[in-house]
């Protein structure tokens, strides 16, 4: 680093994308500093077993996996700072980040890996049973409900895709749609409606999540008749959308209507030179730990190349 007050690489976010970027940047001798955000380790810290990340043949608990990621990043010299970046000024050769609304951080490159957050219904017991019957990711957790009855909430493409996925594992899938039509594309709807293992409950909302320490069933209210029915499901999947954690970049970085950062296809470049995006903050399609890690690697390599081309390192 030519000026010791300016970081070569600042990484915002501590999920698989951020830590993978840190591992690559650190091994390239760029001494990255990673700012964890309010939820160190990201979304994986609120899941239980992760069985689809290559390299863990027996599976691993999400929080442990993120500790492993962090330790690997630290091993090569990444500095980990606990705290949230609360505002940024990204234009120009030196980017400015404000940590926890007070400390000013300067950096030549910024890698954004702030992730996304699943939207939740906000009903009682939803968070208590999270990881114990309640999940916001069918691909992550569906396997644990093999041969059991499950319910999924939502009527978008994600809900349809996840209902179809679950139908191959669960003995029965109830899909709770709050209106009398679905927002999902026609083809996805058709797939769901033609699936004998999926029963769509229209005009339906979740009235109650039942159970003591684990989910044992749900109560469903029909919004037209107010009638309450009970479903003996052990899995309850919430698929009502995600929100990328990108509010602090509004007005500076290009994003789509939902707030996902736009990157050059196949690269991690944003619309601002020296600013790279990876992971779920720029991906509303795959949203997997392994895809996030892959794009984190890309961002670090792009940042390294940028610094070399600018002869800054």
Per-residue b or e along 250-270, where b marks 16 or more CB atoms closer than 10 Å to that residue's CB: eebbebeeebbbebeeeebbb
Tell me which residue of 52, 223, 229, 240 sits closest to 152, measured CA to CA: 240
Among 15, 115, 154, 244, binds ligand NDP (CB under 6 A): 154
As measured in angstroms, the least distance from the Cβ of 119 to ligand NDP is 6
Q: How are strands ordered across the β-sheet holding 198-201?
A: 134-135, 235-238, 149-153, 172-176, 198-201
- Catalytic residue at 137? yes
Six token digits for residue 97: 């980040």
List beta partners, residue 198: 173
- Per CB under 6 A, contacts with ligand NDP among 205-264 are 240-241
| Alpha-carbon span 133 to 131, nearest angstrom | 6
> Which residue's CB atom is positioned nearest to ligand NDP?
156
Whole-number Å distance between alpha carbons of 118 and 99: 24
Q: Which is nearer to ligand NDP, 96 or 178 (CB)?
A: 178
CA 175 – CA 150 distance, rounded (Å): 9
Q: 137, 157, 278, 280: which is the annotated catalytic residue?
A: 137
In the list 75, 92, 179, 224, the residue contacting ligand NDP (rule: CB under 6 A) is: 179
From 94, 121, 207, 301, residue interacting with ligand NDP (rule: CB under 6 A): 121
Closest approach, Cβ 110 to ligand NDP, in A, equals 26
| Size (the chain), residues | 313
State which of residues 63, 77, 83, 156 lies at the interface with ligand NDP (CB under 6 A).
156
| Selected range binding ligand NDP among 17-25, 104-112, 176-184, 214-222, rule: CB under 6 A | 176-184
Site for ligand NDP in 269-288 (CB under 6 A): 284
Q: How far is the CB of 13 from ligand NDP (least distance, A)?
A: 20
Q: Is 77 in the site for ligand NDP (CB under 6 A)?
A: no
Choices 24-32, 60-68, 153-161, 290-298 (CB under 6 A): range interacting with ligand NDP: 153-161
DSSP states along 102-154: TEEEEEEEEEE---EEE-----TTTTTTBTTTEES-HHHHGGGGTTSEEEEE-
Is residue 1 classed as helix, strand or coil in its secondary structure? coil
Please confirm, yes or no, whether 140 is among the known catalytic residues: yes
Residue number, 11 or 233, with CB nearest to ligand NDP: 233
Binding site for ligand NDP (CB under 6 A): 121, 153-159, 161, 178-179, 183, 240-241, 284
List the catalytic residues: 137, 140-141
């Amino acid at each position: 680093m030519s000026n010791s007050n300016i970081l070569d690489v600042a990484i915002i976010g501590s999920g698989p994308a951020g830590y993978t970027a840190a591992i690559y940047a650190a091994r390239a001798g760029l001494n990255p500093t990673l700012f964890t955000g309010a939820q160190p380790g990201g979304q994986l810290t609120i899941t239980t077993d992760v069985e689809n990340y290559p390299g863990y043949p027996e599976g691993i608990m999400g929080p442990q996996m993120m500790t492993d990621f962090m330790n690997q990043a630290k091993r090569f010299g990444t500095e980990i700072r606990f705290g949230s970046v609360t505002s940024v000024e990204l234009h120009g050769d030196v980017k400015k980040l404000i940590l926890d609304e007070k400390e000013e951080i300067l950096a030549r490159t910024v890698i954004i890996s702030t992730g996304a957050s699943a939207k939740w219904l906000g009903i009682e017991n939803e968070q208590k049973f999270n990881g114990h019957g309640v999940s916001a990711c069918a691909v992550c957790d569906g396997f644990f409900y093999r041969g059991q009855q499950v319910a999924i909430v939502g009527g978008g493409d994600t809900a349809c895709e996840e209902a179809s996925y679950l139908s191959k594992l669960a003995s029965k899938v109830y899909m709770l749609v709050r209106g009398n039509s679905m927002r999902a594309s026609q083809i996805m709807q058709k797939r769901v409606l033609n699936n004998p293992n999926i029963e769509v409950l229209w005009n339906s909302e979740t009235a109650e999540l039942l159970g003591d320490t684990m989910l044992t069933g749900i109560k469903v209210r029909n919004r037209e008749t107010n009638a309450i029915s009970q479903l003996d499901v052990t899995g309850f999947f919430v698929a009502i959308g995600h929100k990328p954690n990108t509010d602090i970049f509004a007005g500076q970085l290009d994003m789509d209507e939902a707030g996902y950062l736009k990157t050059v296809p196949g690269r991690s470049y944003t619309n601002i030179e020296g600013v790279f995006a990876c992971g779920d903050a720029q991906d509303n399609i795959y949203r997997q730990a392994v895809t996030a890690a892959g794009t984190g690697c890309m961002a670090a390599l792009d940042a390294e190349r940028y610094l070399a081309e600018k002869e800054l390192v």
